[in-house]
Structure 1
Amino acid sequence: MSSPWIQGLRSVALYVPDLAKAEEFYTRTWHLEVAHRADSVLYLRGSGTDAYLFALHQGGEVPQIRQVTLRARSRAALDEVAANVRKAGGKLLAPAHELNKDPAGGVGIKFQDPHGRTFQVVYGDERRVESAPQQDRPIRLTHTVLNSHAVDETQKFLQDALGFRLADRTGIMAFMNCDSDHHTIAIGITDNDALNHIAFLMPDFESVMRGGGRMKDAGFPIQWGPGRHGPGNNLFNYFIDPFGVVIEYTAEVEQIDEHYESHGPDFWKWPPGRVDQWGISPPPGATLKDAQKRVFFAPHP
């Protein structure tokens, strides 16, 4: 445990152009289940304990991120994070309040970081009874990667406001840790502040591979993978959804504690021609890289 306040990533909310098309893809092809419906919003769950892990809102012509939701360790943590956000240069959008319109309930705060990314932190939200993982179905979200034109500033905000720590840093990414998963938020080191990707945890290697085949059969080829990352040591297959959002099936995410030794770019180097541990798949192509810089946070009303 590194953060005294944040337990992990609960959910991500997106605006999508076509809610019916999104439901078709994310249930039949990506293998999530409908958890709840409301006016112009669809809540989807995995096989894990989260009441939902994906909220899809009817939006405009292009997809946008509505918010990233983290789970707090305690009710008191919400007030501490709210105070930290102000000190760290963020903007508090909503102090601690009952989330009456959220099907998972609980108490939450909402804020923006200095570059306009919207976060929510919740406590006491509904949890489902834990059951055995189901093969070929996502369990939960394990991490999201957010690009930053000012990586050092973004890293400092996550540290100061949320208590994250730097797990590892490569030449293209800073991996931020809050609990036992190696990283919960990673910062893409680039010239924009777009969504890089959202990672869904699968039960095992077999599920990551079966998911890749199923997606290919449905007309959504693997954009990068199969492979095994360096930082996090996790398996991966990357895809682009029908709206241009980059999504990842992953498994075997490295579990770390306070004794984990952080490394920098000089440590995380590969032989020529490789960009992961295995070196089986070619590096990410232009299609994936372009998609990783096109989906931005929606302005907060």
Structure 2
Amino acid sequence: MRALGAHNELHSEHGARRDEHPGRSRNPVVKVRDLAWLEFEKSDLVRTEAFARAFGLQVTLRTPEELHLRGTDSTTPCVLVRRGGGSRFAGVAFAAADEIDVLRLADVTGAPTRPLPEAIGGLSVDLVDPSGLPVRVVAGTHELATLPAQQPLTVNAGHDTRRVNATQRPLRVPARVQRLGHVVLQSTKYLQSLNWYLDNLGMIVSDFLYFPGQRDRGPTMSFVRCDRGTTPADHHTLAMALGPANRYVHSAYQVSDLDALAAGGEYLAARGYFRSWGIGRHIQGSQIFDYWRDPDGFMVEHFTDGDMFDDTLEPGWAPFTATGLAQWGPPATKDFLGTSPRSARHEALSMISALRDDNEFDVHRLVGLLKVAVS
């Protein structure tokens, strides 16, 4: 099938230059189909559940030690939370096409397989990416029944009149999350980690970003999708960025439309939850976004109307700038960019520590990162 260039105005003004990263592996071990779930440890499961319900997730399992959360789509739970002494991101799971792929990954990597708990079912191979993040690849899991979904409103768009003798009155209720869409991670070993996901999980890059003035040094962020062949996949299921620490940045959950997102945001705000940034529309991925902080400080996103690409589209290339993060909406906040006063000391310590270690985050990359927030 003919590859579509990124320079053809589909999603980026620029394509790759000669000898730049191709954005995919020639011979990946397997090709994962989607995100399965994210794993967290948190000290207060009651507080976690209260926010999850306000955010629009549903509970499938609740014990004194564990909480499973889901959207309305027919999938596995999309967030697994275990009780812990503190709060931390504990790993990510991807869904393989079948258990043969799980066994193939185990054979190639030498990693162990294990049956998953009965509440989830299926088989898992437990890996660790170059950043040290636990990564599971799973198959054969139980499929949850579809729940009633929040229906998009019937919209009169321009002269296309579809609603007559009827009004719009969206309720200020939690936006019903449909599914987990993507996770964003930061890594001090960005390129090594990116190649690991491409080579082992068969993912492909939709867009590369590079620090201002540093394109010749290679990309520093990538939006990575699953390779489903001719079946379209989310513009990114995983996004990775070079930075001074190995950490979770945010995760994103699809809702039905803009009204669900906006009214759901009003519901969260009325209950005192903190909006990090929004509402706006991104450039890479095109989705309408609204970012929130949960009570433990983890960033989560409601999104709708995201791009879907098949396997023919080649990566786009663009500078990594604060103003380049959205087509419209308020400017990116200091909280979203990690430059707020409350995070400044932690960020400074992370930068000092990263510069002392053997990784991809050197002084030149530090200078480039500092330019992002003011570009």
TM-score over 0.5 for the alignment?
yes
Counterpart residue type for residue 76 of structure 1: I
Q: Which residue of 1 aligns with 2:69?
A: 44
Change over 3 Å in CA distance of 1:33–1:276 after alignment to 2: same
Mark the CA change 1:139 to 1:14 in structure 2 (over 3 Å): closer, same or farther.
Answer: same
Give the alignment partner of residue 163 of structure 1, picking from 202, 222, 227: 202
Conserved? CA contact 2:277–2:292, under 8 Å: yes
Match runs of 1:24-43 below 5 Å:
24-27=50-53, 29-43=54-68
Q: What is the rounded CA distance, in whole Å, between the counterparts of 2:317 and 2:81 in structure 1?
A: 36
1:13-38 Cα deviation digits (max 9, x unpaired): 100121111112212x1121210124
* 1:131–1:244 Cα change, 3 Å: closer
User: In the TM superposition, what is the alpha-carbon distance from 1:84 to its structure 2 partner?
Assistant: 4.3
CA distance in 1, matches of 2:246, 2:327: 27
1:178 is matched with which residue? 226
Report the AA paired with residue 236 of structure 2.
Answer: H
Displacement after TM superposition at 1:148 (Å): 0.8
- For residues 60 and 134 of structure 2, the distance between their equivalents in structure 1, rounded to whole angstroms, comes to 23
Shift of 1:132: 5.5
Post-superposition shift, 1:189? 2.2
Paired with 1:111 and 1:39, the residues of 2 have a C-alpha distance of 28
Q: Alignment partner of 1:170: what SS?
A: strand
Aligned counterpart, 2:262: 209
| 1:227 match: secondary structure | strand
Cα displacement (A) at 1:274: 5.5
How does 1:81-120 map onto structure 2 within 5 Å?
81-85=105-109, 92=111, 94-95=112-113, 97-99=114-116, 101-120=117-136
Amino acid at match of 2:37: S
Alpha-carbon contact 1:229-1:235 (below 8 Å) kept: yes
Count of residue pairs the alignment pairs up: 279
Q: Normalization by structure 1: what TM-score?
A: 0.85
1: CA distance, partners of 2:104 / 2:285: 29
SS at match of 1:10: strand
The aligned counterpart of 1:298 is: none
Aligned residue in 2 for 1:67: 91
Which has the larger displacement, 52-61 or 2-11? 2-11
Shift in Å at residue 269 of structure 1?
Answer: 6.8
* Separation in structure 1 between the aligned mates of residue 64 and residue 299 of structure 2, nearest angstrom: 26
Aligned partner of residue 51 in structure 1, secondary structure: coil
Q: CA offset at residue 265 of structure 1?
A: 2.0
Q: Distance in 1 between the 2:150 and 2:260 partners?
A: 9
Deviations 1:168-208 (A, max 9, x none): 11236211111411111110221111100011111112111
Note the C-alpha offset of 1:138.
0.4
1:197–1:245 Cα contact (<8 Å) kept: yes
SS where residue 76 of structure 2 aligns? coil
**Structure with the largest fraction of helix:** 2
Query: Could you tell me how far apart the structure 2 residues matched to 1:83 and 1:228 are?
Result: 42
Residue 10 (structure 1) shift? 1.1
* Conservation of the 8 A alpha-carbon contact between 2:33 and 2:95: yes
Q: Is the 8 A contact 1:17 1:243 kept in 2?
A: no
Instruction: State which structure, 1 or 2, has the greater radius of gyration over its C-alpha atoms.
Output: 2
Question: In the alignment, what sits opposite 1:89?
Answer: none
**CA separation in 2, counterparts of 1:275 and 1:71?**
29
Check whether the contact 1:106–1:126 (CA below 8 A) recurs between aligned residues: yes
| C-alpha contact (below 8 Å) 1:84/1:160 kept by paired residues | no
User: Structure 2: any 5+ residue segments left out of the alignment?
Assistant: 1-23, 152-174, 211-219, 228-232, 348-375
Give 2:284's match in structure 1, choosing from 213, 231, 240: 231
The residue type paired with residue 281 of structure 1 is P
Indicate if the aligned counterparts of 2:277 and 2:336 stay in contact, CA closer than 8 A.
no
Query: Equivalent residue of 2:181, what SS?
Result: strand
**How high is the sequence identity, in percent, across the aligned residues?**
26
Instruction: Give per-residue Cα distances to partners, 1:80-125, cap 9 Å, x unaligned.
Output: 2224445xxxxx2x32x321x2412111111111221001111111
**Is this contact kept in 2: 1:159–1:165, CA < 8 A?**
yes
Q: Distance in 2 between matches of 1:207 and 1:70?
A: 27
Aligned-partner Cα distance in 2 for 1:131–1:37: 18
Match of 1:282 among 316, 328, 331: 331
Paired with 1:219 and 1:169, the residues of 2 have a C-alpha distance of 36
Secondary structure of the 2:330 match is coil
Closer, same or farther: CA 67–269 of 1 in aligned 2, 3 Å: closer
Mapped partners of 2:225, 2:130: distance in 1: 20
Say if 1:130 and 1:24 are closer, same or farther in 2 by CA, change over 3 A.
closer
User: Which amino acid in 1 is paired with 2:48?
Assistant: A
Q: Which segment drifts farther, 123-132 or 73-82?
A: 123-132
Match of 2:48 among 22, 28, 38: 22
